[in-house]
Each structure stands twice: as C-alpha cells, then as structure tokens.
Amino acid sequence: MARTLILVFCLFLVAGCASIPRTGGPKPAGEISAQELCRKYNIECRWDPVSQTITMFYLNKKIQGMVGSDMVVTDKNRIALSAPLYRKHGAVIFPPDFERAVFGPASVPQEDYVRGAQSGRLRKVVVDAGHGGKDPGAIGVGGLKEKDVVLDIARRVKKDFEAAGVTVVMTRDSEDFISLADRTMMASQPDVDLFVSIHANANKTRRANGIEVYYVGALSRDDKGEDQRLANEKKICSLYNMRSDIPDLRAVAMDMLYAYKCAFSPGLSDAVAQGLAHEVPRQSRGSKPERFFVLRNTLIPAVLVEVGFVTNPKEAALLKDNAFRQRLADSITKSVLRFVYASGI
Ligand SMILES: [Zn+2]
C-alpha cells in the first residue's frame, strides 16, 4: 500500500499537481468547490487525478478527501460527511456540511469550535473482552480463567464509558465464543472511533507480574494483505461509499485510514499505560508494539490491555476482587477519555 501511495504521489508530481479542477456550473445551496475553498481560506490544495484524491493544508493540518467517498480524513479526525464528494464540470464539489465539519463556522474562532466539538467527538467504542466460550484464555492460580476475569472488567469499562456519554459495543457480553475475525468486523463501522481489548497475562514463572498495554506494531506486506483485513477494508469501503472494486483507489483510502490509526494508537497506548501506572498499584510493564490479530486487523486506533497475570498468586487474588477490577476499569476508561479530549482524536 505504501508503494501505491508513493506511486500515486509520483504520478501526481509528474502530472504537475495538475491544477485543481475549475469551478463548475451552479451547485445546490451550501455546496462548495475545492477552488472556492482554496481561495476563501487561502490554503494550498493538491489534486491527484489518478486517485481522484484532493489534499488540502490548513493550519498545519492535512485534509484528504476522495471523489465518490463521504469520508474525509484530517491529521486528527475521520469525518463522515452527509454526502460523497463529486465532480461537476471538472470541479470537485464538497457537500454543505464539509466546511463546518472541517473548518468550523467562520463566525466562531477556530479554536473554540474545535474545543466545543471535541466534547462530543468520541461516539462509539468497541470494548473487546478476550477469549470466551470454548476458549478460556489463560488459566491461572486456583483455576482462575482469563475469559471470566476480562468479561467482568470489560462490562465495567462499558458502564464507565456509558456514564461519560459514549456508546459501547461489546464484542461479547456473554460466555459465548466469538471469533477474532468477527471481533474486528464489529470495529469496521464508520461510527466506531476506538477499539479497546481486555486480556489477562500468563507465564510459566509465577513471579511474572504487572500490567502492559499494546498497540499495533509495523505491519509487513503480508499483514496488509491478510484476508480478514481485506474483508474489513471492503466492508468499510462500502459503508463509506468508496469504490472497493478499484484496488488502487481502495489502497489509497486504506492508507489514509491506516495513517490515522498509526498516528493515534501509540499515544493512546502510552496514555492508558501511564494512567494504570498511576492509578492501579501494580508494576507497569509499559506500552509496546505488537502484531496481535485484533490490533493489526482493525482500521481504527486500537489498544490491547493485559490487566495482570492470572498465574501470579498475588495478582490472581487481586483479579478476583471486585474493587480491584473496578479500579482497573475506571483507570482504563479515564485514560482513554483523557487522551481523546487532549488530542482531539
Ligand atoms: Zn488473552
């Protein structure tokens, strides 16, 4: 994909950033052409005729949209518009809500608008309780099962998010077994902002202890071509009205999403690890990159929290304790919210 992106940008350079298509004829009220936007905000716009992608630079922010898609990606946001971008007499036309969603109303200072919008920014989180059903996960001291510990903590995280006004989708809210593929499919909806997976650790050494948080590590070409990832991409493309039948266009769109995911996941993981280190009296094993299935096959910022070792006698006792589970859940939720509102994800 990276290669495709480079190719696209090379073509774009060769093509001389072709001039931005000119304003076409009359447009429905509220719609605005790329040329009008560039003039109004005095911004740099680049049009790539190969991928039909338009890139704008505004206040050090990169904004990318694609003709035919109702999704726009900025450095910090993935914005779903009311209608797809389209071309009319050669001009790229944005729907009426684009300007407000990306630039803010002209009468309101940009910073105030951004701050105000942030409070409602986190719409939906997928909370993933690891394992379940026939898959018990790690089995620890006294037969303590990872699947039971993490389901209870995930339910507490759900309640905490809901108390903060965030909608939660649980990948499982019962004993049932849910495949890893289905878990990532649940995260491939346009209105899902984050994926938080809860697991518990195990080790042959009973001494091993502490809490660690993971984000997705560098993906190989094979990882990016993984069947499940492609299925999720197709799903998200159709939900965003992107044409998934043209591989190059889909690759550009997925690069946009992947860059967005990678821009946020490490910071989110660090924030959760730091929050837990301060708020839960256990050793912090830090925040690390990994290639876990649910991290590499989700197309949104994602973290996986290992809440402690069920094989460590002291931690197993704590992980059975309701107050400790609540403390973990409170800290995970608060850390995510703190990070989201500080970064404007
Ligand atoms: Zn696990």
Q: How far is the CA of 84 from the centre of ligand 1 (A)?
A: 40
Phi (first) and psi of residue 52, to 5 degrees: 60, 35
- Which pair of tokens denotes residue 71? 């999704």
Which residues face 60 on adjacent strands?
A: none
Which residues face 71 on adjacent strands?
A: 80
Q: Which of 208, 211, 169 is nearest to 332 (CA)?
A: 211
For 80, counting Cβ atoms within 10 Å of its Cβ (0-12 exposed, 13-18 middle, 19+ buried), the class is middle
Q: How far is the CA of 200 from the centre of ligand 1 (A)?
A: 5
Ligand 1 ion: Cβ-proximal residues, 5 Å cutoff: 130, 137, 199
pLDDT for the residue numbered 294: 94
pLDDT for the residue numbered 63: 87
Low-confidence ranges of the chain (pLDDT < 50): 1-20, 22-24, 106-120
- Which pair of tokens denotes residue 244? 């998934």
* Spatial separation of the C-alpha atoms in residues 315 and 308, rounded to whole Å: 6
pLDDT for the residue numbered 96: 82
For tokens 């050793």, the residue is: 283
pLDDT for the residue numbered 242: 66
Q: How far is the CA of 295 from the centre of ligand 1 (A)?
A: 13
* Spatial separation of the C-alpha atoms in residues 170 and 161, rounded to whole Å: 12
Q: What DSSP letter does each residue of 111-135 carry, written as one string?
A: HHHHHHHHTTT--EEEEEE--BTTB
DSSP state of 143: G
Q: How many residues can be counted in the chain?
A: 345
pLDDT for the residue numbered 117: 36
Q: How far is the CA of 282 from the centre of ligand 1 (A)?
A: 19
* Spatial separation of the C-alpha atoms in residues 248 and 9, rounded to whole Å: 12
Q: How far is the CA of 300 from the centre of ligand 1 (A)?
A: 20
Q: How far is the CA of 213 from the centre of ligand 1 (A)?
A: 12
- Which pair of tokens denotes residue 164? 């903060």
Q: How far is the CA of 15 from the centre of ligand 1 (A)?
A: 50
- Which pair of tokens denotes residue 226? 């993984």
pLDDT for the residue numbered 235: 82
The domains of the chain, with CATH numbers, are 2-117 (3.30.457.10), 121-343 (3.40.630.40)
Q: How far is the CA of 339 from the centre of ligand 1 (A)?
A: 24
Residues 6+ apart with CB under 8 A from 275: 331, 332, 334, 335, 338
* Spatial separation of the C-alpha atoms in residues 16 and 10, rounded to whole Å: 10
Assign 101 to helix, strand or coil. helix
Q: Which of 41, 54, 38, 40 is nearest to 86 (CA)?
A: 54
pTM of the model: 0.69
pLDDT for the residue numbered 173: 96
